[in-house]
Amino acid sequence: MIIVTGAAGFIGSCLVGKLNAEGYKDIVLVDNFEDEKKALNYRDKHFSSMVHRDDFIAWLRENHKLVQFIFHIGARTDTTEFDKSIFDELNVNYSKDVWNACVEYGLPLVYASSAATYGLGELGYRDDHEVVEDLKPLN
């Protein structure tokens, strides 16, 4: 099976659609699924199950042997959110948890990054430790 985090969002749901078009149907959608409007994004997609993001790491612990790989597209991208702790928890710590689980279970991981990480790009798009502290999320 294939995992897509952020599956209720625009990019994640488009990825699920592309996977469906390529013949993949055994897909687990991971997101918070609270925004009813986002249900339209995955309404017509084919998938095997949905897992709330808060339950995903525990779910993965129990099901990792069934997983082929993970697309980690999930992130908080709300430009009206100014609470940095929410970004730290969802965009940094959660991503670390996903990465650590993939390393522990030997699962391939594809992930995305964006302005939520690099801001306006005035310092470039490097992840070197000496520049990370100076990066300001655009949100």
pLDDT of residue 91: 74
Q: Is the pLDDT of residue 139 over 50?
A: no
Which class for 99: exposed (0-12), middle (13-18), buried (19 or more C-beta within 10 A)? middle
**Number of domains the chain is built from:** 1
Query: For the whole model, what pTM was predicted?
Result: 0.81
pLDDT digits (tens, 9 = 90+) for 31-75: 999 989 999 999 999 999 999 999 999 999 999 999 999 999 987
Counting runs of H as helices and runs of E as strands, what totals does the chain give?
7, 5
Report if residue 77 sits inside a domain: yes
Report if residue 58 sits inside a domain: yes
Helix, strand, coil abundance in the chain, percent, nearest 5: 45, 15, 40
Q: Among positive and negative, which fits the CA dihedral 32, 34, 35, 37?
A: positive
pLDDT digits (tens, 9 = 90+) for 79-124: 666 777 777 777 778 999 999 999 999 999 998 865 555 555 666 6
Report if residue 125 sits inside a domain: no
Range of the domain at 35: 2-114
Report if residue 98 sits inside a domain: yes
pLDDT of residue 15: 97
Higher model confidence: residue 131 or residue 75? Answer: 75
pLDDT of residue 102: 97
Q: How far is CA 121 from CA 21, 75, 86, in A?
A: 34, 18, 22
Q: How many CA atoms lie within 13 A of 8 on its CB side?
A: 18
CATH number for position 43: 3.40.50.720
Report if residue 11 sits inside a domain: yes
